[in-house]
């Protein structure tokens, strides 16, 4: 059974800092990995999707990497801003076509 | 496009009552997913449909839960009878071609069963 882990559960950083959010998964047989953002009381917004054949994806200040063999992904946020404060969830699509989510990292960027 | 639409946004009901949650996927998307989010268990897939056909319902917790997709633009998730432990946020998501493609989430329905 696929398990996705995100540690730590919460993170607080000062504005302007570059930061890395980590995600690990137990079964490397995945189709893709997605990073989502969730604001309080809202739904999920897809940030980046990395296919299993890819190593990384970039969108603006966000860069996500994937090391399938070691079961790890990182989301890099450059020059963090208070507006980046949210919960970031990592999810993998497995061979059974199911999307398995981590519990998320709640990020707070202090002005 | 309006995105994925869910109704109601909030639902408060008493234990034993029937609850029906509704979802309208993005037009043109042929896959629809129902998820449940709780503090304890995080986000869990309950069921997903491809071309209106249920593909995997192994995440449905028990027989009290049922889901239908009568056409490409509408799906329901029903809980009968509801119990306090069903209290959660229920999300609907859709994607263009299946589980391996980017999923777009609705705003969710916050269900409270007293």
Q: What is the pLDDT of residue B1?
A: 63
Q: Which residues pair with A66 in a beta bridge?
A: A73
Q: What is the pLDDT of residue B62?
A: 84
The whole-number average pLDDT for the span A80-109 is 92
B55/A97 touch (CB, cutoff 8 Å), yes or no: yes
Distance from CA of A38 to the nearest CA of B (A): 10
- Cβ atoms of A75 and A64 closer than 8 Å: yes
Q: Assess whether pLDDT exceeds 70 at residue A96.
A: no
The residues, ordered by sequence, that sit 6+ positions from B45 with a Cβ below 8 Å of its Cβ are A98, A99, A100, B33, B34, B35, B56, B59
Confidence at A1, pLDDT banded by 50, 70, 90: confident
The pair of structure tokens assigned to B67 is 């889901």
Which portions of chain B are predicted below pLDDT 70? 1, 99
- Cβ atoms of B102 and B1 closer than 8 Å: no
Q: What is the pLDDT of residue A6?
A: 97
CA nearest to A103, candidates A28, A38, A47: A38
The pair of structure tokens assigned to A54 is 């890819």
Q: What is the pLDDT of residue B99?
A: 66
Tokens 């995105």 sit at which residue? Answer: B3
Say if B54 is an interface residue toward chain A (CB within 8 Å).
Answer: no
- Cβ atoms of B63 and B57 closer than 8 Å: no
Q: What is the pLDDT of residue A91?
A: 95
CA nearest to A88, candidates A68, A53, A62: A62
Out of B99, B100, B105, whose CB is closest to A44? B105
Phi and psi torsions of B84, nearest 5°: -55, -35
Burial code (b: 16+ CB inside 10 Å, e: under 16) for B82-98 equals: beeebbbbbbbbbbeeb
- Cβ atoms of A29 and A80 closer than 8 Å: no
Dump pLDDT digits (tens) for A15-63: 999 999 999 999 999 999 999 999 988 889 999 999 999 999 999 999 9
B45/A99 touch (CB, cutoff 8 Å), yes or no: yes
Out of A93, A98, A101, whose CB is closest to B56? A98
Q: Which residues pair with B76 in a beta bridge?
A: B22, B68
Radius of gyration from C-alpha coordinates of chain A: 13
Tokens 């200040």 sit at which residue? Answer: A61
What share of chain B has pLDDT > 90, as a percent? Answer: 79
Q: What is the pLDDT of residue B60?
A: 92
Dump the DSSP string for B86-97: G-EEEEEEEESS
Q: Assess whether pLDDT exceeds 70 at residue A78.
A: yes
- Using a CB-CB cut-off of 8 Å, the residues of chain B touching A34 are 102-103
Dump pLDDT digits (tens) for A2-18: 999 999 999 999 999 99
Dump pLDDT digits (tens) for B68-96: 999 999 999 999 999 999 999 999 999 98
Q: Assess whether pLDDT exceeds 70 at residue A93.
A: yes
């Amino acid at each position: 059974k696929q398990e996705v882990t995100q540690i730590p559960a919460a993170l607080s950083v000062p504005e302007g800092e570059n930061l890395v959010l980590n995600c690990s998964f137990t079964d490397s047989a995945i189709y893709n990995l997605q990073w989502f953002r969730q604001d309080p009381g809202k739904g999920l917004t897809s940030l980046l999707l990395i296919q299993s054949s890819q190593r990384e994806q970039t969108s603006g200040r966000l860069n996500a990497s994937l090391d399938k063999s070691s079961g790890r992904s990182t989301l890099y946020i450059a020059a963090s801003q208070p507006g980046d404060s949210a919960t970031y969830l990592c999810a993998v699509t497995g061979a059974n076509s199911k999307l398995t989510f981590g519990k998320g990292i709640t990020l707070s960027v202090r002005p | 496009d309006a995105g994925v639409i869910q109704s109601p946004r909030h639902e408060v009901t008493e234990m034993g009552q029937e609850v029906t949650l509704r979802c309208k996927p993005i037009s043109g998307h042929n896959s629809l997913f129902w998820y449940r989010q709780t503090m304890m268990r995080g986000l869990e897939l309950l069921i997903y449909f491809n071309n209106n056909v249920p593909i995997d319902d192994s995440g449905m917790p028990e027989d009290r839960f049922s889901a239908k997709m009568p056409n490409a633009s509408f799906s329901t998730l029903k809980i009968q009878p509801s119990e306090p432990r069903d209290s959660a946020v229920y999300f609907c998501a859709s994607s263009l071609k299946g589980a391996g493609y980017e999923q777009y989430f609705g705003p969710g329905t916050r269900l409270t069963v007293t």
